[in-house]
Chain A
Amino acid sequence: MEKNNKTTGKVVGIVANLVTVAVDGPVAQNEICFIAHNEERLMAEVIKVVGVNAYVQVFESTRGLRIGSTVAFETHMLEVTLGPGILSRNYDGLQNDLDKMEGVFLTRGEYTDPLNREMKWGFKPLAKAGDVVTAASWLGEVMENSIPHKIMVPFKMEKRYTVKSVKAAGDYTVDEVIAVVVDDEGVEIPLTMVQKWPVKMAVRSYKSKPRPFKLLETGVRCIDTLNPITEGGTGFIPGPFGTGKTVLQHAISKQAEADVVIIAACGERANEVVEIFTEFPELDDPRTGRKLIERTTIIANTSNMPVAAREASVYTAMSLGEYYRAMGLKVLLMADSTSRWAQALREMSNRLEELPGPDAFPMDLSAVISNFYSRAGFVYLSNDATGSITFIGTVSPAGGNLKEPVTESTRKAARCFYGLSQDRADSKRYPAIDPIDSYSKYLEYPEVQESLKKTAGEGWLDAVIKAKDILLRGKEAMEQINILGDDSVPIGFHDRFWKSELIDFVILQQDAFDDIDSSTPMVRQKHMLSSVLKVADTEFKYKGFEEVSVFFKEVINIYKQMNYSEFESESFKKYESNLDSLLKERMN
């Protein structure tokens, strides 16, 4: 979409944030334009063209806007600016640096630079003159917080180039030329540390994208143990309001073994973002000992911020993720909530008077969602290094009904399903992930099974399957007990039910607000699962059914105290030996 003379236009229609512009030249779909309104310039994106009329969605309020206002088209789509200094930043959905904005209230038409142009970065060359490079080849490296940030050949450069020169090690600003490359026609291209990328396009500068095969540890037991997600995997968390989607996502983003975490707060509460702003600078990354905020970037387009920018926010987040993945890093991307993004699409589609699909969502919703999820993944880069984007989105189904279009479309796109259940949340069984309906397709991948065997041991998968069976059988037993009555079923039913409760209380339930219980490393998860399964395998003696619940409540209580204690600490071991004697009493 390169053009020489910029197209201009005049506003001829306004309905909320949909503005019609009569244009005097060529415009491209998704091209960015600015509408002049008094002193302000309002950014907008072309979403439909009919004859000389371009329909643009304005990323701001259109209050006071007048017919006849002039519009300037920018010859490019919505782009992110990529370079060192993105980590620890708080951006809005269009990548404006929120901290650089003046005043308490957001000002319409104020756009701020995502990068710091003055700061100097300690640059170390990685390429040398004569090297042949392509898009995303590493030219050099700077340390961004504690992360090796690669300076790459821009993703937009589609040819092969020969490196003419690379700057020597030293301190440079992002805008200084750090390398010159030459294309096949001998044209010299100077490169800085900054490049731009249109957010709605997937970055494809990698060698291959195999199926994900390696477990990504999250510290959340009912994910890692029962339905693990992989490096480069995709998952989604649907659940009625208040069932714990955000708490779960925050827990994962604090604990997961990722190099970079990008959180897109997409049309949700501002106070939840403030929580991240407040906590992450204080919390340590358990793996590096550095502060969590150092590896985190937040895209905050909360529910009261402009709707069109909300739609953009998930793409902005994904593009930043792709940038860091190309450096050979493990990126974890979270979006809360993808339903708000879908609703933004719906609002626009309705204003455009498009033919609506189910629940008035646009017809192509499913395709849009699949396309987005497909940008995640594990990749081999051109130099055989690996990188990944693991993506987990929340879904907020209308009325809690999982048959609605956003949930159904997402189910087709994501490989892990962590369904939150209202019943579990009501009875405070957090995280409220339904153990029976939820699944991880990755458990069926032979390459994942192989890798789990190596990391968690030969018997691990069998143990996991067994735990799931116990949960299922427990549920069936409970249904029978409810139908027939406590004393009309064999005692074995009570035993079976309480063994599933044991797994529920000890493995599934996890207190996200307890310093110790909130995050369980894999070794501890293995220890606990095998301990609990041993209990489940044991035959106990009871005089009557009443004794079953009394006994298991005591067992569960001890296990809970263990969960609250430092792993293998004195008190942990003390509880473990209390448990042993309690169990022995029942066995003979």
Chain B
Amino acid sequence: MESQAFQKIYTQLINMTKATVTLKANDVGYDEMAIVHGRKAQVVKLMGDIVTLQVFSGTEGIPTNAEVTFLGHPPQLKVSDELGGRFFNAYGDPIDGGPEVEGEIRDIGSPSVNPVRRKQPSQLIATGIAGIDLNNSLVSGQKIPFFADPDQPYNQVMASVALRAKADKIILGGMGLTNDDYLFFKNVFQNAGALDRIISFVNTTENPPVERLLVPDMALTAAEYFAVDKNENVLVLLTDMTLFADALSIVSNRMDQIPSKDSMPGSLYSDLARIYEKAVQFPSGGSITIIAVTTLSGGDITHAIPDNTGYITEGQLFLRRDTEIGKVIVDPFRSLSRLKQLVIGKQTRADHPQVMNAAIRLYADAANARTKLENGFDLTDYDERTLDFAKVYSDKLLAIDVNVDTDTMLNISWELLSKNFTKAEVGIKQEFVDKYWIEK
């Protein structure tokens, strides 16, 4: 494939930067792949017969008389059922020692789904984690990231969400994964006996950073194959999208583009949206759900990467360490699933929305009480009760080690509400109070 007879070989580079080479060539398509001195590259600019190529792994050591051949097509992936259980690099080449995959060749970064051909997401994805199922229910066809500090166990949480989610396929797109994390994923997937359902495209910290720009599109091309051609429910895990965005900024910087906020390219929003919007529910039954990780620096969500992500995704899940109970919880304040209203109270019990809101409101009152305490003020009886409530609520429901079904989550909530508060303080619709309130 990559050394066809008719291919013309160029050997005269006229310009070189850290990331790009320029040469004279004719009949080249925009976005086309090329091989420069044995390294993969892609056309990023055409001016007359001057072609600029981005060399993914950098230009170190490339001589001006390097051989350049054009491949005549954009980046591609071969898709078939053989993908199942396999590990690939950012170019879609196997890294698990197995054979090449046979299958249909597809261009990655395919066109968007016509919005009128989408179906409204409506299928609850249960994870057993109450911080998600109770307060931020996931729906198939949704796209949602974890916002987490680098030291938080986001990959672990994501792996357990993935394994409990009952997806037909799980596709991991790893960008800048440490080797340890790569092995961690490999391990849990293997131990869960789920390996044949799982496909991984991995760029580790040992690989050149610019290569990871291809990873989401590779993962999503595979996902579209299974969701569209096979009507499967596919869960795509993208970790860590912050490192993906960093790679974008490296490229735009090397191409002398004017940066906007936080040295990110002005097109960051569109670049990220193009990826996340691949999440979809197809009318034929297949779906693509994207769960991603966006690591924060110092918890700052106003940084351009989490900020643009938040504007694109359908909510976000925040992890936070609750020092009082010594566990990591899904923070109910900043976390949000935008699609939850499509399923809560519909696929779950009718009291779900109101119970959820009431509990979070009271949990917020507890936070105020804590501030009062810290400022040295006396607490009222109500304040004390909110604090009692918050502690148990955090431990029994928000902690990420919880694994129960949604009805149980609601029952636990009613127990805690009835125990600590009056009906007026809880302020839930009368019909539900009549049904679920536990009189002392």
Q: Does B98 contact A (CB under 8 A)?
A: no
Judged by DSSP, the binding face of A is mixed
Distance (whole angstroms) from the CB of A382 to the closest CB of chain B:
37
Q: Are A66 and B258 in contact (CB under 8 A)?
A: no
Q: Please choose the segment from A102-110, A125-133, A217-225, A451-459 that sits at the chain B interface, where 4 or more of its residues have CB less than 8 A away.
A: A102-110
Is B427 a contact partner of A66 (Cβ separation < 8 A)? Answer: no
Closest to B259 in A: A360
Q: Chain B contacts of A359 at CB under 8 A? A: 260-261
Residues of B within 8 A of A149 (CB): none
Q: Given A15-B45, A399-B302, check contact A63 B29 (CB 8 Å).
A: yes
Selecting from B7-15, B181-189, B191-199, B373-381, the interface stretch reads B373-381
Contact A271 B427, beta carbon cutoff 8 Å: no
* A226 in the interface (beta carbon within 8 A): no
Q: A271-B118, A343-B269, A485-B378 are in contact. Are A64 and B74 (CB under 8 A)?
A: yes
Cβ contact within 8 Å between A486 and B378: yes
For residue A291, which residues in chain B have a CB less than 8 angstroms away from its CB?
none
* Interface 9-residue window, one of A185-193, A198-206, A273-281, A437-445: A273-281
Query: In whole angstroms, how far apart are the Cα atoms of A103 and B284 in the complex?
Result: 12
Q: Which of A307, A337, A428, A554 has the most CB of B within 10 A?
A: A428
Given contacts A65-B29, A278-B120, A13 and B307 within 8 Å (CB-CB): no
Q: How distant is the Cα of A504 from the Cα of B392 in the complex, in angstroms?
A: 29
Does A554 lie within 8 Å of B121, measured CB to CB?
Answer: no
Residues on B with C-beta less than 8 A from A554 are 424
Residues A401 and B273 in contact in the complex (CB < 8 Å), given A13-B48, A302-B112: no
Interchain CB contact under 8 A, B381 and A546? yes
Assess the B427–A350 pair: CB atoms within 8 A.
Answer: no
Q: Which of A296-319 contact B (CB under 8 A)?
A: 300, 302-305, 307
A residues 338-362 touching B (CB-CB < 8 Å)? 340, 343, 346-347, 350, 353, 356, 359-360
* B257 contacts A by Cβ under 8 Å: yes
- The reply to whether A14 and B427 form a contact with Cβ atoms under 8 Å apart is no
Interface residues of A in 240-296 (CB under 8 A from B): 240-242, 267, 269-271, 273-275, 277-278
Which residues of chain A have C-beta atoms less than 8 A from B380's C-beta? Answer: 486, 546, 549
Cα A243 to Cα B338 with chains together (Å): 11
* Residues of chain A from 380 to 407 with CB closer than 8 A to chain B in the complex: 396, 398-401
Answer yes or no: A367 CB below 8 A from chain B CBs.
no
A98 at the interface (CB under 8 A from B): yes
Say yes or no for B167: interface residue by CB 8 A criterion. no
Q: Would you call A427 an interface residue if the criterion is a C-beta within 8 Å of the partner chain's C-beta atoms?
A: yes
Which chain B residues (6-30) contact chain A, with CB distance < 8 Å? 26-30
B119 x A63 contact (CB < 8 A): no
Verify B307–A304 contact, CB threshold 8 A: no
Of residues 238 through 277 on chain B, the ones whose CB sits less than 8 Å from some CB of chain A are: 257-261, 266-267, 269-270, 273-274, 277
Whether a CB of chain B sits under 8 angstroms from the CB of A24 is no
Q: Does B336 contact A (CB under 8 A)?
A: yes
Query: Counting CB contacts under 8 A, is A556 at the interface?
Result: yes
Is there contact, CB below 8 Å, between B334 and A426? yes
**Residues of chain A with a CB closer than 8 A to B26's CB:** 67
Q: Is B407 an interface residue (CB 8 A)?
A: no
Tell me whether A101 is interfacial, beta carbon within 8 Å.
Answer: yes
**A267 / chain B contacts, CB cutoff of 8 Å:** 269-270, 273
Question: CA–CA, A411 to B208, complex, Å?
Answer: 44
Q: Which of B295-317 contact A (CB under 8 A)?
A: 302-304, 307-308, 310-312, 314-316
Q: Is B440 an interface residue (CB 8 A)?
A: no
Which one, B148-156, B353-361, B396-404, is touching chain A?
Answer: B353-361
Q: Is A227 close to B, CB under 8 A?
A: no
Contact of B395 with A by CB under 8 A: no
Interface residues on B, range: 35 or more
Q: Is A553 an interface residue (CB 8 A)?
A: yes
Contact yes or no, A105 B112, CB < 8 A: yes
With known contacts A98-B114, A303-B312, A428-B357, A553–B266 Cβ distance under 8 A: no
**What separation, in Å, do the CA atoms of A561 and B377 have in the docked complex?**
34
Q: Decide: A360 and B258 in contact? CB cutoff 8 A.
A: yes
Q: How far is the CA of A513 from the CA of B48 in the complex (A)?
A: 57
Are A486 and B266 in contact (CB-based, < 8 A)?
A: no
Please judge, given known A-B contacts A67-B28, A428-B360, A554-B424, whether A340 and B74 are in contact too, CB under 8 Å: no
User: Which residues of the other chain, B, contact A340 by a CB distance below 8 angstroms?
Assistant: 269
Task: Report whether A99 and B29 are in contact in the complex, using a CB–CB cutoff of 8 Å.
Answer: no
Is A61 in contact with chain B by the CB < 8 A criterion? Answer: yes
Chain B hits for A468, CB < 8 A: none
Question: B105 contacts the other chain (Cβ, under 8 Å)?
Answer: no
B101 CB to closest chain A CB (Å) equals 23
The reply on B1 being an interface residue by CB < 8 A is: no
CB of A101 within 8 A of CB of B114, answer: yes
Is the beta-carbon distance between A400 and B302 smaller than 8 angstroms?
yes
- Given A105-B110, A400-B302: A14 touches B257 (CB 8 Å cut-off): no
Closest B residue, CB atoms, query A485? B377
Instruction: Select A104's contact among B74, B114, B273, beta carbons within 8 Å.
Output: B114
Across the interface, do A356 and B261 meet the contact criterion of CB distance under 8 Å? no
Measured between beta carbons, the chain B residues less than 8 angstroms from A271 are 118, 120-121, 141-142, 279, 314, 339
Contact A553 to B49, CB < 8 A, known contacts A347-B270, A546-B380: no
In the complex, what's the smallest C-beta–C-beta distance from A182 to chain B, in angstroms? Answer: 43
CB distance from A369 to the nearest CB of B (A): 17
Let me know if B405 is at the binding interface, CB within 8 A.
no
Interface centre among B46, B118, B228 (most CB of A within 10 A): B46
Kindly identify which residue among B48, B277, B364, B377 contacts A12, using a CB–CB cutoff of 8 Å.
Answer: B48
A63 touches which of B31, B114, B117, B259 (Cβ 8 Å): B31
8 Å CB interface, A55-79 against B: 61-67
B228 touches A104 (CB 8 A): yes
In contact, A269 and B277 (Cβ under 8 angstroms): yes
Asked whether, in the complex, the Cβ of B307 is within 8 Å of the Cβ of A241, the reply is: yes
Decide yes or no whether A524 CB sits under 8 A from chain B.
no
> Within 8 Å of chain A (Cβ to Cβ): is B4?
no
**A560 interfacial by beta-carbon distance below 8 Å:** yes
Nearest opposing residue in chain A for B107, CB measure = A63
Q: From known contacts A399-B261, A427-B364, infer whether A98 and B74 are also in contact, taking CB-CB under 8 Å.
A: no
**Cβ of B361 and Cβ of A427 under 8 Å apart?**
yes
B5 within 8 A of A: no
Contact B258 A99 (CB under 8 A): no
**CB of A510 closer than 8 Å to a CB of B:** no
Q: Is A81 an interface residue (CB 8 A)?
A: no
Interface residue from B277, B364, B427 paired with A560 (Cβ < 8 Å)? B427
Flag if B304 contacts A398 (CB, 8 Å): yes
Chain B residues, CB < 8 A from A101: 114
B114 & A12 in contact (Cβ 8 Å cutoff): no
Q: Is A67 within 8 A of B113, CB to CB?
A: no
A356 B258 Cβ-Cβ under 8 A:
yes
A513-B353 in contact (CB<8A): yes
Whether, in the assembled complex, B59 has its beta carbon less than 8 Å from a beta carbon of chain A, the answer is no
Task: List chain A positions with a Cβ less than 8 A from chain B.
Answer: 12-15, 20, 61-67, 90, 98-99, 101, 103-108, 240-242, 267, 269-271, 273-275, 277-278, 300, 302-305, 307, 337, 340, 343, 346-347, 350, 353, 356, 359-360, 396, 398-401, 426-428, 482, 485-487, 513, 546, 549-550, 553-554, 556-557, 560-561, 564
Interface residues of B (CB under 8 A from A): 26-32, 44-49, 74, 107, 109-121, 141-142, 228, 257-261, 266-267, 269-270, 273-274, 277-280, 282, 302-304, 307-308, 310-312, 314-316, 333-334, 336, 338-339, 341, 353, 357, 360-361, 364, 372, 375, 377-378, 380-382, 423-425, 427, 429-430
Given contacts A63-B31, A107-B111, 15 further A-B contacts (CB under 8 A): A15-B45, A63-B107, A65-B29, A105-B117, A106-B112, A242-B310, A271-B279, A275-B120, A307-B270, A356-B258, A359-B260, A360-B258, A428-B361, A557-B427, A561-B429
Identify 19 residue pairs between A and B in the complex whose beta-carbon atoms are under 8 Å apart, listed by A's number. A13-B45, A62-B31, A63-B30, A63-B74, A65-B29, A104-B282, A106-B114, A242-B315, A242-B338, A271-B121, A275-B120, A300-B115, A303-B312, A350-B267, A399-B307, A400-B307, A401-B302, A553-B427, A561-B430
6 residue pairs, one from A and one from B, having the closest CB atoms: A303-B273, A399-B302, A304-B277, A241-B310, A360-B260, A64-B29
